[in-house]
Amino acid sequence: MTGIMDIVYAEYNYWIYVALMMIGFYAMIAKKNLVKKVIGANIFQTAIFLFYISLSDITGGTAPIIVHGDHAAEVIYTNPVPHVLILTAIVVAVSTTAVALALIIRIYDEYGSLDEDVILAARRNLQPEFSEYARQKEVDT
């Protein structure tokens, strides 16, 4: 039994990230509102960022910036590689979020709703009361 408790204590960070990931994943697949889906995707991404950053952590280590001086030999640096990868990933996350929000604004302009079901039904039937596109077509014909 102590073995299991040791594992939980040594790896509690992974449990936190899995919980965060589950929250984000649930928001992505269960919520109908498109903005909530984007928020869920962001929580999911944050869980993965934290996972990578925690992999790079070393007990007693400092930030990976070279130290000069008397104690330079004793300094332990944390692993710099995951930091670089996540700096890259954060930028991609910001870009995808921005494009997703812009698409949502256009969708709201077009269909007057953010609900996934309403949008899908409107797209399927092209009901004039939901779709700018269908109304335009009706005017044209």
Partner 1 sequence: MSGIQESIIIRTVVRIMVPFIALFALYVIIHGASGPGGGFQGGVIFGAAIILYAMIYGIEDGKKIISDKVNRILSSTGLVLYAGTGLLCMVFGGKFLQYNAVPLFPNPAETAAILMDVVEVGIGITVLAVMVSLFFDISPPETEDDEMFPEEVEQ
Partner 2 sequence: MKILALFAVLLAGGMLLYAGQDLPAFGDQNSPAYQHPMTTRFIEESENETGVYNIVTALLANYRGYDTLGETTVIFTAGMAVILLLRRREL
User: What is the rounded distance in angstroms from the CA atom of residue 50 to the CA atom of residue 91?
Assistant: 15
**Which of 3/141 has CB closer to partner 2?**
3
Binding track, positions 79-118, relative to partner 2; x by CB under 8 A: xxxxxx--xx--xx-xxx-xx--xx-xx------------
Binding track, positions 107-126, relative to partner 1; x by CB under 8 A: --x-xx--------------
Tell me which long-range contacts 93-97 makes (C-beta under 8 A, separation of at least 24): 93/42, 93/45, 93/49, 96/41, 97/38, 97/41, 97/42
Neighbours of 50 (CB within 10 A): 17
**Residue 44 contacts which entry, partner 1, partner 2, none (Cβ below 5-8 A, type-dependent):** none
Which residues fall within 8 angstroms of residue 127, CB to CB, at 6 or more apart? 121, 134
Neighbours of 44 (CB within 10 A): 20
**Which of 103/138 has CB closer to partner 2?**
103
**Which of 22/35 has CB closer to partner 2?**
22
- Residue 81 interacts with partner 1 (CB under 8 A): yes or no: no
Tell me which long-range contacts 9-15 makes (C-beta under 8 A, separation of at least 24): 13/50, 13/54, 14/51, 14/54
- Interacting residues toward partner 1 by CB under 8 A: 63, 65, 87, 90-91, 98, 101-102, 105, 109, 111-112, 129-130, 132
- Interacting residues toward partner 2 by CB under 8 A: 7, 10-15, 18-19, 21-22, 25-26, 29-30, 54-61, 64-66, 76-77, 79-84, 87-88, 91-92, 94-96, 98-99, 102-103, 105-106
